[in-house]
Amino acid sequence: MGKYEFSNGNGNPKGKKRMSTGKKVLVIFVSVFFVALAALVVWILQPPVQDPGKRTSAASSASIEPPTIGPPSSSDPSIAEPPKGDRIKGIYTILIAGTNDDYNTDTIMICYVDTVKNKANVVSIPRDTQIDIPNSIKRINGSYGRAGMEELCAQVTTILGVPVDYYCLINLRNFVKLVNLIDGIDFYVPYNMYHADPNPNDVINLKKGQQWLNGKEALMLVRYRGSSQNDFGRTQVQRDFLLAVCKKLVKEFSVTKMTDIMPVINESLKTSMTVTDMLWFYINFLREVDLDKDINWMSLPHESTGLYKGQDYVYLDPKQIVEFVNEYLNPFDLPITEANIHIPHLKDTDR
């Protein structure tokens, strides 16, 4: 007779110990925990969906609705044909915009992110770029104020032929609060910045040179408009400032610091990314990329600047834009053509 075949009268073989209820519960809890942890890891490691129209309602778990990208309501969808070809795996497009007044987006950048090669192209779009809308002022920087970030995304797609997978809108007035939380930013101020104002809070006074900026000084930096390079110079300064902040955030990332930083980020940032998407990009891209060597910063080429009905505009050239987009921004495996874009050219005089 086998070793464990003798009954003890309670239905259990003699010599075999019964597992206590507490231990059973512990085993079940541990098993469920590791299964859940494995599922979470798999979930986070799944790459984001490239087509924003195919994202599920799971995005609402972060209380952020994904954008619905399409032709702007003010323009004829038949003007530009959708690009042909399939999306290249691992390539994402992210639109980053910065606003001081929660209406105009003075900083507009479209990012081509290659998560396979860990490379990125970041292209600044001039805020005065002319777009085809029925409004009296036809600048792209007013798109957000008119109809939200979806409208800005749609206008960028119209002039470039590039779909926008995600957007991030940064409120620069709030964002500089991060500067104090991370103990300031070491930054080179490219020229003297001075603006007198009856309101002491709006006075700007910064000297040219390398210096340590606190939050108040950083706000002066991003608000200053008096550069001899006009908006091109201002855009460059804002872009360099945001890069400096991002570098420090990535370098000093820690759970303890993020508990203080996240509330400021939440009030400074509107995004179509879910928390899971952010984690995925951090784990699979930001941690691997060298922000100095692996990111190519450039400006969208333009044909000229001029006036139309008393308003200043930057004018794009379709042929030049198509060549540039196919070189640096095209997420498809086939070229984008002039049939895929729509660029207006309403002009009174050249400058």
> Could you state, in order of their start, the residue ranges of all structural domains in the chain?
52-350
| Residue 325 backbone phi and psi in degrees, to 5 | -60, -45
Q: Which of 175, 118, 169, 166 is nearest to 274 (CA)?
A: 166
Residue 5: per-residue pLDDT: 43
Overall average pLDDT of the 320-335 stretch: 97
- Pairing label, strands 269-271, 105-114: unpaired
CATH code for the structural domain at 52-350 = 3.40.630.190
Q: Helix 215-223 crosses helix 230-251 at what angle (to 10 degrees)?
A: 150
The answer, yes or no, to whether residue 15 has pLDDT greater than 70, is: no
H or E element, residue 267: helix 255-268
Mean residue pLDDT of the chain comes to: 79
More confident residue, 211 or 10: 211
What pLDDT is attached to residue 73? 39
| Each residue's pLDDT tens digit, 176-202 | 788 888 889 999 999 999 988 888 888
3-state secondary structure of 65: coil
Continuous segment of H or E residues that includes residue 174: helix 172-175
